[in-house]
Structure 1
Amino acid sequence: MTVDAEILQTLVKMPEPLKKELLHYAKYLIENYSETVSDVKPPQKKRRSGILKGTFVLPLPDDFDEPLEDMISCPVASELQQ
């Protein structure tokens, strides 16, 4: 049995007030959701590997682990060192 035939068969059995409610709900669905269902989203672009090649220079400089000079003059940093 198709969906349309099953809907009609169920509709025939319903009392009149329920038919009106069903009609209002069907119109609501058509107005609010017919556009979003038919919209097809384009597929997401795949991420390319190696896009940042050359951005980070290795090996790191010898003073990489040394504290930054801005942090040494910061009052909060001097309190943290104590």
Structure 2
Amino acid sequence: MTTVNMHEAKTGLSKLVEAIENGTESEIILARNGKPVARIVPLEEFPVVDVSKRLGIAEGQFGSFSLEEFNEMDEEIARMMIEGPLFPDEPVAEPTKPKKSA
């Protein structure tokens, strides 16, 4: 395990990565003012996340409805966007009536 200060790491990053790639070093510790702050390790040491498992993770939790049912909400959503407040947490101002002139 080699420890390298930040300045050295900046100027020789490609050499440090090469040492990790070819197996010369299994881990390189990066230090700032002599204090270890990070490490460079081969990527194989980290588990590979299977992204395909993320798709469909909520399947069956929200019921099912058809495209027609989904599209039925279009008009209501459009009305809410046009007529609703810009920021929903703010109270909606009542429309002012024109004053009658005397």
Q: TM-score, normalised by structure 1?
A: 0.33
Bigger relative CO (Cα 8 Å, ≥ 6 apart) = 2
Structure with more helix by fraction: 1
Larger radius of gyration: 1
Q: TM-score, normalised by structure 2?
A: 0.29
Structure with more strand by fraction: 2
